[in-house]
Structure 1
């Protein structure tokens, strides 16, 4: 017999739910500090409930297990919460003044110390973390929104015209109701998340780009790059209103995540991260100039379009930079050859003018 699952991700949710029942079968309680609720837990029937990374007294934990609950304890010796209930924010990852002391840097060092052959406890911790991040990303309910992915290189400098152009594009799309999703890193990705955050506030966006320009790259000084972003974000008039997504990875941990995405889904596994990026961009993908990572995304997305059944939609894709995508990295020739005679051929585009992009994403199939 099936049972309803109920996710509990905060102490307030736990208190509200426990007031309604004394049978916890089907509950998934995730990363909640329940040490002050030991008495309540002793009075209910916990059989069939799951406690994932919750903080419990030793006595309460033993009691729950004996009475039929499934208790997954927090993992020792890892600098992250493997059962995290929510996505990250910039403040979560940049939780210290100096980058070397931040959560983002600590996790990257932990991972690097275990390569190339992490032990089973390490891979388990990373897998549990990435599973929790996917679950948290699902809870943003992106399937209810028009999600546009903006891909591009991490080397785009804040003081280059392309940075401001990418920010303007993202702002315009967000003002039309799109949720902007990026790979969550610096360069073009930062520009897109920045633009989305300042949607509807173009004067402030122009000012933000100008304020960021004196620190054009995360090299050689990550601290200056991060602090300038956090200063701009603190003055964003709509910082809590606009949803934009960044999906970076510690696989490329030398590239710090940008702080402008309102929701950051940071993964250990890059393959999983790429799959999540592309599967969620159902309203279109914009590819600004980039190198291997961007090219990987172009053709991974193309594979899904190429093999789409007649009953399945194909996702519009716009490559920006005619000379770049036909000469520097001639992806367009192969892409257009693959699309010839197929439905995907009608939704792939190559442009020089970035202002043409929004209209090309409105293809219906």
Structure 2
């Protein structure tokens, strides 16, 4: 398993370490932690895993503590350069930098690469928070500050802790995971002043319609939960919402 580099060699990041050829393992660190099948000798190594997890938190906190105002941009790794969402993600990255934000993505290809490219070319801070995956391709070339994580939950903490809001472009399972985690944290007041913008009305409308017509209609969520998300096609509106949230945080009397 793993991916192949430009020379066709098997290659994978394992946390910050790159492995090639026969050094590429067949499983990931997260999988070995969470998968209960097979031998149970892993039980005796959990105390040591705690130290590795701690090290990932320390590395992330140390690298990102001075980041300043930042917005996370999510979207599909499968977005192609000729798709409108790719150009839109690049515009998002550029305009966030022009508004004084650093741009944080998952560091992968597709929409993430586009946002990193827009941020980097605009002269801003372009951050990529990668994750060890069997099929990963490593951090894209437009990431200026990159960290590779072994554990999803450590990586997710970095996104929430160091971003003041999320802009979410069309994406798949991973994008939905980040979106709904942010919604859960905002709903439970674990994070405050945290705007969430869904960029792409044609793509996201069906999801919001289902949440309103099914979840809200059956009392499973409240209108306030839906109101935490703003749906738009306008990049300027998305960036303006992030700026407004930053100003509100800096001056609560506004």
Using structure 2 for the length normalisation, give the TM-score: 0.73
RMSD of the TM alignment (CA)? 3.3
Q: What is the match of residue 313 of structure 1?
A: 192
Equivalences, count: 222
Match of 2:180 among 281, 299, 306: 299
Using structure 1 for the length normalisation, give the TM-score: 0.53
Q: Please state if 1:349 is matched with 2:230.
A: yes
Match of 1:179 among 82, 90, 102: 102
Q: What is the match of residue 272 of structure 1?
A: 154
- Counterpart CA distance in 1 for 2:165 and 2:54 is 25
- Counterpart CA distance in 1 for 2:63 and 2:153 is 21
Q: Report the secondary structure of 1:266's partner residue.
A: strand
Match of 1:248 among 130, 141, 151: 130
- Counterpart CA distance in 1 for 2:145 and 2:48 is 22
Q: How far off its partner does 1:245 sit?
A: 1.7
- Counterpart CA distance in 1 for 2:107 and 2:192 is 26
The C-alpha deviation readout for 1:54-95, integer Å capped at 9, x for no partner, is xxxxxxxxxxxxxxxxxxxxxxxxxxxxxxxxxxxxxxxx9x
Greater mean deviation of Cα atoms: 114-123 or 178-187: 114-123
Q: Report the secondary structure of 1:159's partner residue.
A: coil
Q: Say whether the 8 Å CA contact 2:56–2:154 is kept in structure 1.
A: no
Match of 1:261 among 143, 158, 177: 143
Q: What is the match of residue 24 of structure 2?
A: 109
Q: Say whether the 8 Å CA contact 1:320–1:350 is kept in structure 2.
A: yes
Select the structure with the greater relative contact order (CA < 8 A; seq sep ≥ 6).
Answer: 2
Match of 2:76 among 153, 163, 174: 153
Q: Say whether the 8 Å CA contact 1:133–1:265 is kept in structure 2.
A: no
Which structure 2 segments of 5+ residues have no match? 250-254
Larger Rg: 1
- Counterpart CA distance in 1 for 2:178 and 2:147 is 17
- Counterpart CA distance in 2 for 1:358 and 1:113 is 36
- Counterpart CA distance in 2 for 1:188 and 1:124 is 37
Q: How far off its partner does 1:146 sit?
A: 0.8
Query: Given the superposition, is the C-alpha separation of residues 130 and 353 from structure 1 closer, same or farther in structure 2, using an over 3 Å criterion?
Result: same
- Counterpart CA distance in 2 for 1:272 and 1:144 is 17
The C-alpha deviation readout for 1:81-125, integer Å capped at 9, x for no partner, is xxxxxxxxxxxxx9x763635453627932528866586498777
Which structure 1 segments of 5+ residues have no match? 1-93, 201-241
Q: Report the secondary structure of 1:271's partner residue.
A: helix
- Counterpart CA distance in 1 for 2:126 and 2:178 is 19
- Runs of 4+ residues over 6 Å off in structure 1: 121-126
- Counterpart CA distance in 2 for 1:351 and 1:113 is 37
Greater per-residue strand proportion: 2
Query: Given the superposition, is the C-alpha separation of residues 128 and 353 from structure 1 closer, same or farther in structure 2, using an over 3 Å criterion?
Result: same
Q: Report the secondary structure of 2:63's partner residue.
A: coil
